[in-house]
Structure 1
């Protein structure tokens, strides 16, 4: 027991030192992105406790009230109210939480689907490779927004269908990355040595090949999150996303566009959150790429 405690306590300084080293290697923009990302995650995680009102609570006598500092401001509604008298701040916080959940689930499904197909395609080769790469080429050739709109029009705009649609977005990128890495790694001497030692195809795939393809997948995962956030916002803006009264950042922008000339705060608040999310994720994705790629890191 004493040895376990000592081990845990000794690991903390090493972890803190590693975090300090990462922070020291980052430039000003990257540090700002880290701070924004951490803040957004904390706010999203504790949205039900931070939000001053229920996101669906209506007060028609308080509709279209401006944020604090303007005339007709109503106490308790710091960022104003929307067309139904709902608190914009509370809906934005809950919308941020749901938007990040949808983005994380969608990116995870895309990673698992595309990564698995890319791994199978690269190792099996032959007709399997031709079929998978043909599906990848077809996916790239067809604008995904059209596929998403058609799917949502047929199966509805429930959260479950939305997660499935978002999960299909970008799978071809994962498949191409993993296939390329697998084809490169399969020609390496250590793979030949594993084969000579009698390792099965599954062992080679999951023990030797997949761990060496993790770095580009992590980078692609971070970049996919911001793209999925924008896709969800686009679908919600077009009225095909998560349906009212459930709030997402995109749906708030889509509904608020009709009131933009008279009540711009309905759109500005969720739009700024979308901007912050995409900024933080894109900067961190580029940063992870630079740290993971030895060629870029050594320049």
Structure 2
């Protein structure tokens, strides 16, 4: 009779991440989770229709102030719309635009960078020339030109945000690929008959996850700021649809008399960028195969 060997079960991966994190990382994770849930559940938890107007309730202050109107916990804007409801829906749209833009930038830049690093020659020169051209032209001016030519529809905004920062992905991936492909284990894979696709998927991509995670989080927070800037200038998603940036933009004229119109969306922008940056550094350390066993 053979003795059975009991293999202790490991804690779930997320539980291990939580246990190994510090206080700031846990706070960022909780804030990020709360923001995502607020965005997903915005249609259910928003107390009012974000587009509903009530001129008799315009510019009412938040709870705790004189002239507060029952039910409008964060006050109302210049058209009597509920600031809380608009902030929740604005958070949903802003996060959606940022995620879509960062993902498109990752796919475009990562693919081109990987191709340039593996192929070399004229293909690498052409891709890096496009990268240099993108860096040479201020992206805000390029975004303004695109929006002026094609309008400020949601599709155009996603495309504009998607090409914001692709060159950073391309430069990072190309540099990492060139460095990794010079290592002995890549030479061994080639000598054993491994093709370019096999080497890229099996050996190269797992070793560039860490810088890609960091760049994705940086891009995500930068796109939130870019969308907010364009909306602040009136070139983002057009009214009456609310984004966090457009709420700050439209509320700037009422700052002396109704600062709550700006405080709520601005606070959400700060919380989004804070949580994304902290979580990006955290995931970078966990995803880096070179640091995993240290």
> TM-score, structure 1 length as denominator?
0.91
How many pairs are equivalent?
A: 288
* 2:183 is equivalent to residue 188 of structure 1: yes
1:198-277 to structure 2, matched below 5 A, reads: 198-277=193-272
| Structure-2 residue corresponding to 1:7 | none
Structure 2, gaps ≥5 residues long: 1-6
| Structure-2 residue corresponding to 1:110 | 105
Compute the displacement of 1:180 (Å).
1.1
* 2:147 is equivalent to residue 128 of structure 1: no
Compute the displacement of 1:196 (Å).
2.2
**Counterpart among 151, 156, 159 of residue 156 in structure 1:** 151
Regions of 4+ moved over 6 Å: 294-299
Q: How far apart are the structure 2 equivalents of 1:296 and 1:210? A: 16
* 2:280 is equivalent to residue 280 of structure 1: no
1:37-186 to structure 2, matched below 5 A, reads: 37-186=32-181
Compute the displacement of 1:189 (Å).
2.3
Compute the displacement of 1:57 (Å).
0.6
| Mapped contact 2:206–2:289 kept (Cα < 8 A) | no
Structure with the higher fraction of residues in helix conformation: 1
* 2:23 is equivalent to residue 23 of structure 1: no
Q: How far apart are the structure 2 equivalents of 1:147 and 1:226? A: 19
What SS does the aligned partner of 1:198 have?
Answer: coil
> TM-score, structure 2 length as denominator?
0.93
Q: How far apart are the structure 2 equivalents of 1:289 and 1:214? A: 8
Structure 1, gaps ≥5 residues long: 1-9
Q: How far apart are the structure 2 equivalents of 1:39 and 1:205? A: 37
Q: How far apart are the structure 2 equivalents of 1:293 and 1:285? A: 12
Compute the displacement of 1:294 (Å).
6.5
Task: Provide the alpha-carbon RMSD of the alignment.
Answer: 1.9
| Mapped contact 2:54–2:80 kept (Cα < 8 A) | yes
Q: Identify which range, 34-43 or 280-289, moves more after superposition.
A: 280-289
Q: Identify which range, 138-147 or 232-241, moves more after superposition.
A: 138-147
**Counterpart among 267, 290, 294 of residue 285 in structure 2:** 290
What SS does the aligned partner of 1:74 have?
Answer: coil
